[in-house]
Structure 1
Amino acid sequence: MLQMVDATPQTVVIQMQASAADGANAWDMRCDLREGLIRCLRDQHPQWLSRRPRPVPALPGGSGVATRARMNESAHTGD
């Protein structure tokens, strides 16, 4: 089932509902559905896709490459 759950002057949010036999199949299906929907929009209605850059969410405890580097160092040193 495909359902519109929110709309603004610039966006529409849709929700797709489906079911699968288990978690692994659900994950694969989720990826396939999302990629298929984007592919359909790209091929049939490219004007509907945003061309504006979206901000990248910050990581907890800071942001940017330096924070990721610190997190990776902590993982390797056990800190």
Structure 2
Amino acid sequence: MPTVLRLSGWRFHFYSDEGGEPPHIHVDTGDGDCKFWLSPVRLARSQGVKAQDLRRIESVVAENEALFLEKWHDFFRP
């Protein structure tokens, strides 16, 4: 499971067996996890993540959308 970014105790990653889905990023927070679709950025699911953290994470995902998409395509379409 490739880690793309670590920030504020959060780990942004994707799973190696999810290439059949549209580009997205998973985020582990220590308290829970969430998944955001990329392009456009929107929440796919969340479990155990506080609402205020979700808003902050969504901002980070939006700010790093190009990086996440680049890493996704590099990994799933070598």
Higher strand share: 2
Higher helix share: 1
**Which is greater in Rg?**
1
TM-score (norm 1): 0.31
Higher RCO (CA-CA < 8 Å; seq separation 6+): 2
TM-score (norm 2): 0.31
